[in-house]
Amino acid sequence: MPPKANPLKLNALQLRTLAILQELAKDPSHALPPEPSGAVAITNLPHPHGDHFHVGHFVVSSRDASGLHNEAVWKALERKGLARAAFPQVIALTPEGLAYETGVRREILHAGGH
């Protein structure tokens, strides 16, 4: 039997936020090197210009990223074991958070730039 999609029952905002955080965790301009536990701390959230911002070579709509600055979303990810958060300074994705399949990555991370 294949694994259940979204087993932790994250809502749409939480899924979008986690997908963006997963990508930020790969970018050394936004994240620290992995901790011994495998967690990755994100210390520098991107600032939008216009209606979007860049994460690596991806473009993300600002409307898809409203959870990045939402304390309730950070707390929900923490409660579900996907992150450790000190809002608004730093959020560290746990190994479970880094590996969680959100199913929304393709919808919100667009290749391209300007």
Q: What is the CATH number of the domain that holds 106?
A: 1.10.10
Q: Which two tokens stand for residue 60?
A: 């993300």
Question: Is 78 part of any domain?
Answer: yes
Alpha carbons 103 and 9: distance in angstroms, whole number: 12
pLDDT greater than 70 at residue 114: no
Q: How confident is the model at residue 4 (pLDDT cuts 50, 70, 90)?
A: confident
Question: Is 2 part of any domain?
Answer: no
Average pLDDT of the residues in 25-48: 95
Alpha carbons 100 and 22: distance in angstroms, whole number: 9
pLDDT greater than 80 at residue 105: yes
Q: Which two tokens stand for residue 79?
A: 């409660």
Question: Is 29 part of any domain?
Answer: yes
Q: In what order do the strands lie in the sheet with 90-93?
A: 40-42, 90-93, 83-86
Question: Is 6 part of any domain?
Answer: no
The kind and range of the H/E element at 93 are strand 90-93
Domain housing 20:
12-111
Question: Is 101 part of any domain?
Answer: yes
Total domains in the chain come to 1
